[in-house]
Amino acid sequence: MVLHKHQRYTWVYKMQPPTNLISEAYSVLDANDRASYTQPAAELYPHQWLWDSCFIAIGLRHRDPERAQNEILSLLRGQWQNGMLPNIIFSPEPHYERDRNLWRSWINPEAPEEVATTAITQPPMLAEAVVKVGEKLAPPERREWYRKVYPALLKYHQWMYTERDPHGEGLVLQIHPWEVGMDNTPPWMAELHEHQLNWWIRAAKKTQADRVIDLFRRDTRKVPSKQRFDTIEALAMFDIQRRLRRKVYDIRRILDHSLFAVEDVAFNAILIRNNEQLRTIASVIKETLPEQLIENMKKTVIAFEQLWDPFSANYFSRDFITHKLFKETAVGTMLGLYAGTIPKEHALSLVHQLSDKHSYGSKFPVPSVPLNSAWFKADNYWQGPTWVNINWLIIDGLKRYGFIEEAAKLRETTLGMVTSYGCSEYFNPTDGHALGTPNFSWTAALAIDLSLNPIN
């Protein structure tokens, strides 16, 4: 549906989402379908990504629950012996050898034999996706579905606590910005610039060698470079990855050498909700979760409040060792709503920020960084643009807290943006226009899900 510019902004509250949004979104998913899994976007993201496939399954379930189940089952191929689910399972095609070799997951004995993967994870959205797909199945099939995935899911959640909460604090730690899925989000980037840049990256910065390196980047060949993270940051990401590989991806050795270790606010908020969904699954199939895991789950809910900063009324990520809060504001704070366990008054203050025109209340919300932050850049990846997966998580949280009007409004603006500007990877939060790669799978999948779930 092509709308005239002046119609675009008024459309959002007046009409139901057009049915051709749904059919367009399905055609994006069909084009990215690789039989057993869906690519996030052809060419730019050719492999299978963990949280992408979870969001994709949430959309696919409406048309074909079996295909949605397969999307999830194919993620489990990548599970490590110790329970970790990697953020990427690499395509076996010969021309992606470079990607597989960069990680060499096989150097760690816990890695699976059949597939090459990364050695880091991504936000744990799996239990949510399993439940959402289960909602589309009749009770006997649902139980069968839950029984099939439960062992792997349980192992994943246990892994997060045994490997990633070594001090038993309740908060799990992340060792690479890619684990958070919001690659260049300011709190992590500020930390990166302050402590993590190696001498040779600093030298590259000084000599402007980054301009040369830029020529070799795959992403900036597909998407304008001002919409991606800068080359110094990209180099630093690969450098952290290289340092993890040198420690054979062994978490004890990694932590002994004080590499990046952050208790990320968004990751832990998502964990809280997904712990809850894991409980739902267990109770439907009458399984008892291990005592220790239940204890840990309770601890996370309590420890999450240590991330609250009363002065700025925000949740922040913190350093694993020093517990210093990273006080750069970013949309991760809003996922406290999705966690669903934060006190109502904290939820209310997040809601105020969502509607504040100087903060997150832009015309096409929710910006990944508030408009009044020094980091805000309307076109740059996770430093300003609006992402549909984040909106979906916030909408879900708003609904469960009873902020129905706010949830309905955000659903409408999100669908309006996708209808007007297509299933893009991300969007300019002030004028709504498309950014990143077009035909992005999770935007399509979640637009379908939002369209088919009106908020009353």
List contacts with ligand GLC (CB under 6 A). 40, 45, 49, 51-52, 181, 183
> How near is the Cβ of 43 to ligand GLC at its closest, in Å?
12
DSSP 394-432: HHHHHHHTT-HHHHHHHHHHHHHHHHHH-S-SEE-TTT-
> How near is the Cβ of 182 to ligand GLC at its closest, in Å?
6
Q: In this structure, are residues 239 and 176 in contact, taking their beta carbons and an 8 Å threshold?
A: no
> How near is the Cβ of 332 to ligand GLC at its closest, in Å?
12
| Distance in angstroms (rounded) separating the CA atoms of residues 405 and 400 | 12
Specify the DSSP class assigned to residue 137. S
| Distance in angstroms (rounded) separating the CA atoms of residues 136 and 57 | 11
Buried b (16+ CB within 10 A) or exposed e, 121-160: bbbbbbbbbbbbbbebbeeeebbebbebbbebbbbbbbbb
> How near is the Cβ of 168 to ligand GLC at its closest, in Å?
29
> How near is the Cβ of 111 to ligand GLC at its closest, in Å?
20
Q: In this structure, are residues 132 and 57 in contact, taking their beta carbons and an 8 Å threshold?
A: yes
> How near is the Cβ of 447 to ligand GLC at its closest, in Å?
15
Which CB, 8 or 222, lies closer to ligand GLC? 222
Which CB, 51 or 249, lies closer to ligand GLC? 51
Q: In this structure, are residues 187 and 332 in contact, taking their beta carbons and an 8 Å threshold?
A: yes
> How near is the Cβ of 177 to ligand GLC at its closest, in Å?
9
**Backbone angles phi and psi of 117, in degrees to 5:** -135, 175
Which CB, 52 or 165, lies closer to ligand GLC? 52
Which CB, 266 or 297, lies closer to ligand GLC? 266
> How near is the Cβ of 40 to ligand GLC at its closest, in Å?
3
Which CB, 134 or 436, lies closer to ligand GLC? 436
| Distance in angstroms (rounded) separating the CA atoms of residues 225 and 223 | 6
Which CB, 154 or 237, lies closer to ligand GLC? 237
Which CB, 268 or 296, lies closer to ligand GLC? 268
Distant-in-sequence, close-in-space partners of 20: CB < 8 Å, separation ≥ 6: 1
133 upstream amide cis, omega within 30 of 0: no
| Distance in angstroms (rounded) separating the CA atoms of residues 273 and 336 | 10
Counting other chains too, the contacts that 34-43 makes at CB distance below 8 Å and 24 or more residues apart are 34/91, 36/70, 36/74, 37/70, 37/71, 37/74, 37/75, 37/89, 38/71, 38/441, 39/441, 40/440, 40/441, 40/442, 41/425, 41/437, 41/438, 41/439, 41/440, 41/441, 42/439, 43/222, 43/437
> How near is the Cβ of 33 to ligand GLC at its closest, in Å?
15
Task: For residue 194, give the H/E element and its range.
Answer: none
End-to-end CA distance of the chain: 25
Structure tokens given for 167? 């001090």
Which CB, 251 or 445, lies closer to ligand GLC? 445
Structure tokens given for 328? 């750069």
Q: In this structure, are residues 165 and 296 in contact, taking their beta carbons and an 8 Å threshold?
A: yes
Which CB, 72 or 347, lies closer to ligand GLC? 72
Q: Which residues are catalytic?
A: 183, 425
**Backbone angles phi and psi of 277, in degrees to 5:** -70, -35
Distant-in-sequence, close-in-space partners of 42: CB < 8 Å, separation ≥ 6: 31, 32, 439
